[in-house]
């Protein structure tokens, strides 16, 4: 019995000596985001949004608008993404021309704030033609490999 115990002890000692050296497991650091965002890409998205509004292009809007969109008009009317697409599709609102020659963009990683003045030529419910001189602020977020408008609010320029 002693022989078995001694042999077991020797086998155990030998296996401990040949065990691979254990290394300390370090915490994985998150990979640095390799995407560098620039203001021109956000401006392109904002102008593409204006073009999609004038064309009532709900397919383009589906890509440009965030699912949690809050779109505030200067009169207090607020639309969601679904509201905006339906209202353009059924003609509740029709954008004839959107003239925003200058857009200022402030970048903050995956978030951008866009500000600009513009003249908006629209029809409401097919019978009310209106021209608006507005100051508009939009927030865009970079998600799912594209810029998406998360919110927008406008006020009348005086």
Q: What is the pLDDT of residue 14?
A: 53
Task: Kindly compute the dihedral angle of the four CA atoms of residues 158, 156, 154, 83, in this order, to the nearest 10 degrees.
Answer: 180
Strands 93-99 and 104-108 come out as unpaired
Q: What is the pLDDT of residues 75-132, one digit of tens each?
A: 999 999 999 999 999 999 999 999 999 999 999 999 999 999 999 999 999 889 999 9
| Summary mean pLDDT of the chain | 87
What is the model's pLDDT at position 1? Answer: 54
**Residue 6, phi then psi, degrees to nearest 5:** -65, -45
Domain residue spans in the chain?
A: 39-156
pTM: 0.77
Q: What is the pLDDT of residues 20-54, one digit of tens each?
A: 555 555 555 554 455 789 999 999 999 999 999 99
Which CATH architecture fits 39-156? Roll (3.10)
């Amino acid at each position: 019995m002693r022989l078995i115990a001694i042999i077991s002890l020797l086998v155990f000692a030998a296996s401990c000596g040949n065990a691979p050296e254990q290394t300390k497991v370090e915490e994985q650091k998150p990979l640095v985001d390799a995407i560098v965002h620039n203001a021109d890409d956000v401006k392109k998205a904002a102008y593409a949004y204006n073009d999609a509004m004038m064309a009532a292009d709900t397919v383009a809007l589906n890509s440009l608008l965030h699912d949690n969109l809050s779109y505030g008009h200067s009169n207090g009317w607020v639309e969601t993404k679904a509201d905006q697409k339906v209202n353009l599709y059924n003609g509740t609102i029709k954008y004839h021309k959107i003239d925003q020659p200058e857009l200022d963009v402030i970048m903050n990683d995956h978030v951008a704030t866009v500000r600009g003045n513009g003249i908006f030529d629209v029809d409401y419910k097919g019978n009310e033609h209106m021209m608006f001189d507005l100051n508009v602020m939009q927030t865009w977020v970079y998600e799912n490999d594209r810029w998406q408008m998360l919110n927008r609010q406008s006020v009348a320029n005086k």
